[in-house]
Chain A
């Protein structure tokens, strides 16, 4: 894993090729000379297939992954990605079907999409689902566009504000801004809930809606959720549910029944589709019957004759992307739901919450819990160890975990918790793994007091050590340039 691997461009030798391609085999037509590119693809590498495979295999070994270890990255739900799903998505009728082929030739894909819409609606208590959004952030954009369209459709054009708790993911305020709406931040109270007085003070005829993650980013179930939804509705606003933490409440609670009007599902979190090193995701959305006419198309419906067809809702906000969503992710999510069933999904959330609470009680005497409550699927602790020097920070604890073979938790988030360590074990982990992690965290706390320098210099066992991120930003090298890289290597 520690082997350095040079950029692929350094292997290039003129004349090599890594693919075995067919010849045209037809009478040729002259190329339009004036339209040809002038540079002969300068800078493109030339390698054979074995060289390409070895290069990418070697760099893959410089990655940490769920398949190689515990990945308690809070808010990201790094759970196991079942191998069956990879086979399923690669079946030719899914992987080699054209999205615009006639619906009569796509009935299997449409049936799968229709069933997934139905399952997701059932699990969350919503009447309608659109599978189109490509990621959670795009699901959020979809929802806020739908809120805007709904209000405008009723002639209610003064609703220009979106309420967002101070504990929210950054995508929430960024989304509201993309739709041209104003973000109004809400305070959290001492128990980690939305501060109801602050909410009441900020609700107004300008409120388009509120975006809320539940369980929230402190890993806590919002204790006043029903009242919050009621207050927002009374003010004429709509409730958006950020489904990033949905893994905590499968079969435990349905957001649609709690009072949410709209939510996105991160199929790449809760429903096991792989994170892929940063995508592709899938941010399917669900909503009430009242908002269904505004959903993006195409959605799938079942006709009276039992055939499936695409349709676009009558007042749709439009398309969010080309074609029908990240279909390969939909196949994986469908497969997951069908292999777990209702009881299995509830068992997932129960185990995820059990694991997080176990880590919580085993560590909170050393790493203070941000808010001392029973948590849901993740726990937020503070990297403030009694007796350790002040300059031992959460970052150091995170980097030291790497030396012990663990991926660090999410750090410095949520922003309202100083030195936050956000730990989400997921249901994937065994008690043995958790015990090993707990023991390591306690050991690191001891090191923080006795040998703090080992934390400051960690990691030492990773492929590279701490990076000069300031240099990366001040003297950006954003593409391969042999000269720039040589200069970097010789610079002090």
Chain B
């Protein structure tokens, strides 16, 4: 018996007797004797207070947002998380439930996912959303697979350079076993127009990101029509916070829109769990991967929620399924639904606006520093490129000494930019924090 296992010794004896064996070991006779009961070389168990002390020690070996000013983004951002979000996530009724296969006793999860789908549709302007994917990167990879299933005779994916480099890597991982060509992102500094020029009659999908990896906002109106005129689909990877103010993927004419939902109340969490947002047109509903919740009635005529259009899924269709996905990110979808509900129309706009204004303030101040130059030939949202007077690694090391986590070092991904740093500013970076960053940079 441990504090998690409620079988007493007396229970065990009674149960073994009922089963008709003498010892618990007799239940494992099917395991080859030579491999049965191997020793496990693990550290001795710790009590709860000992464990919490060790966890605290490990936690405090990490820098974190409560001790450091964070100006690092590159795909995950230190946005404000209202306390109310975590209070809902901590409800055991939500986090200790399984996938809602038994709808009569899973209406809570089902309604939350339905509301998530609805909020995401309102945010993006897209017609339908699924119940989520693992993260933004895998949502985008599933977008490519869906496009290949919609346009079965086309075997090319064009991806713009402005798409997050990790996402482009995941796309290549996912598609490596299929006979598919992925092009368009080879040349550093190439534009969306360059990628569009690669879309031909073999292309199933063009993928762009807005704001792009470098934080730049693009006017994508008309892009969908141009891509569709060539018989291909358009996928726009969006930023959910930017959508509080800026052009939606629907306004770009996107056939598929994906996003990373991390900024919608999930926190940094050292990279996960995050939330893969996936949306598309109603007409592709039978082609999409993952769970979808719909509304119906019970036999008494009461409105109820249920997983629907399940014939696409792996547990039913097996090797002919649209994807192998089973689990989604249900709890993270709930977190984002709570976040979006708290923010509402005004809050979503305010978060985007404060982020935009503080980022621009920071950019102006940094640009005024001798030796530093902000690339601002295009509008940007939250992140911007700073060309620095010395290697970014050196600057970041100096910032660390002052309790500041500097921007993302672009030297490996975009070497043509020289010593360039991608700086992220959110509503969590106070004006005083920004001023301090500028002072410390000036003193390096």
Contact = CB atoms under 8 A, between A and B. Distances in A.
B98 A148 contact: no
Interface stretch (B186-194, B197-205, B306-314, B367-375): B306-314
A346 interface: yes
A25 B349 CA distance: 16
A96 B268 contact: yes
Contact of A170 (B59, B318, B351): B318
A322 B274 contact: yes
A109 B84 contact: no
Given A325-B272, A464-B104, A274 B299 contact: no
A323 B123 contact: no
B40 A123 contact: yes
A394 to B, nearest CB: 13
B118 A87 contact: no
A252 B35 CA distance: 8
Contacts of B5: 347-348, 351, 427-428
Given A97-B64, A463-B107, A478-B292, A327 B270 contact: yes
Given A135-B134, A177-B320, A478-B294, A279 B329 contact: yes
A359 to B, nearest CB: 10
B309 to A, nearest CB: 6
Interface in B67-110: 67-68, 70, 72, 74-76, 78, 80, 82, 84, 86-88, 90-109
A374 B93 contact: no
Nearest to A24: B357
Interface string A115-154: 0000100110100000000111110110011001100000
A399 B27 CA distance: 31
14 contacts: A18-B82, A29-B360, A49-B342, A53-B88, A71-B98, A96-B78, A123-B40, A137-B327, A178-B174, A254-B38, A279-B329, A323-B166, A427-B4, A476-B294
Interface in B5-63: 5-8, 11-12, 14-16, 18-21, 24, 27-32, 35-48, 51-52, 54-63
Interface stretch (B223-231, B243-251, B436-444): B243-251
Given A63-B109, A148-B177, A180-B179, A26 B11 contact: no
B104 A462 contact: yes
Contact of A99 (B43, B54, B270): B270
A275 B101 CA distance: 13
Nearest to B104: A462
A9 B134 CA distance: 26
B106 A64 contact: yes
A482 B168 CA distance: 39
B181 interface: no
Contacts of A180: 177-179
A18, A323, A464, A477, most chain B CB atoms within 10 A: A464
Given A100-B72, A250-B40, 8 more contacts: A18-B347, A35-B217, A60-B108, A86-B95, A102-B400, A344-B45, A373-B30, A464-B304
Contacts of A467: 103-104, 296-299, 304, 306
Contacts of A176: 319
A335 B340 contact: no
Contact of B63 (A31, A105, A171, A362): A105
Interface in A40-64: 40-47, 49, 52-53, 55-57, 59-64
A17 B244 CA distance: 14
Contact residue range for chain A? Answer: 35 or more
Given A322-B167, A472-B308, A478-B117, A137 B331 contact: no
Given A66-B96, A473-B308, A93 B60 contact: yes
A109 B62 contact: yes
Interface in B312-350: 313-321, 323-332, 334, 337-338, 340-350
A436 interface: no
A238 interface: no
A415 to B, nearest CB: 9
A93 B64 contact: yes
Contacts of B64: 92-93, 95-97
Given A73-B98, A473-B308, A335 B51 contact: yes
Interface stretch (A76-84, A285-293, A381-389, A447-455): A76-84
Interface string A308-333: 00000000011111111111110100
A92 B270 CA distance: 10
A144, A343, A472, most chain B CB atoms within 10 A: A472
B251 A37 contact: yes
B56 A342 contact: no
Contact of B303 (A97, A226, A488): A488
A205 interface: no
